[in-house]
Amino acid sequence: MKGLRPVGVAGLFFLIGRSFSGVTAAFLDGGYLEKVLRFDHQEPRIDFQKLAQLMARPDELLRAYYYHCLPYQSNPPTEEERHRYAARHRFTTALSFLPRFEVRLGQLAYRGQSITGEPVFQQKRVDCMVGVDMALLAGKGKITNAALFTGDSDLIPAVEAVKREGVLVTLWHGSFSPGMRPSRELFEMADERRELTSDLVAQILRP
């Protein structure tokens, strides 16, 4: 059974017979990934290199791209805001030093308050950066596969574009519980789909 690798799906293991000749880039929506880890898996400490390799398997990993925003700070920032900002900055800086990792940071814009009085924020430029990176790599023939960890329907045009270039798109996502489930149209458009199950999380935990 040479060339076959086990991949866990929903607690079971299936053999995927793709060869090792492909090249995959992994694209991680950091905000969505945080939600999935928090609400589906009780915030485990994961090894992001292991996650990227898992997403690329069985292909070679070209590079992993991680997208997020630094936390919002008011003017002047509160002590809690300073602490949250510094912690996220340390994390993204450490992530950028991992082999074959690129960190792309958008901006978090304050949009007022919800009807319950909670602050409302909106990510800016993140979807655009994901789309540009995917399209450039696909258009230049640098990748054969794109592994995308998101649930955001705003990335549908990017998925359509890279598929037209002949790139296979695998959608990685959380559970189908409210707030975690991916966009239905995005889910249907992907060539392959992988849910981040507890079995897979166990494979990427930090020591």
Q: Residue 70: what pLDDT? A: 86
**13: in domain:** no
**88: in domain:** yes
pLDDT, mean of residues 9-26: 60
**194: in domain:** yes
**5: in domain:** no
Q: What is the pLDDT of residues 37-48, one digit of tens each?
A: 999 999 999 999
pLDDT, mean of residues 105-121: 71
Mean pLDDT of all residues in the chain? 87
**179: in domain:** yes
Query: What CATH number is given to the structural domain containing 100?
Result: 3.40.50.1010
**pLDDT bucket at 186, cuts 50 / 70 / 90:** very high
Of residues 107 and 101, more confidently modeled: 101
**57: in domain:** yes
Q: Is the pLDDT of residue 4 over 60?
A: no
pLDDT, mean of residues 98-126: 78
Q: Is the pLDDT of residue 122 over 70?
A: no
**11: in domain:** no
Provide the residue type at 102 as one letter: E
Give CA 78 to chain center in angstroms: 30
Provide the residue type at 59 as one letter: D
User: How many independent structural domains does the chain possess?
Assistant: 1
- Give the domain extent around 176: 19-203
Predicted TM-score of the model (pTM): 0.84
Angle at which helices 126-139 and 156-164 pack, to 10 degrees?
0
**1: in domain:** no
Structure-block tokens of residue 38: 């928090």
Angstrom distance (rounded) from CA 81 to CA 42: 23
Q: What is the DSSP letter of 116?
A: T
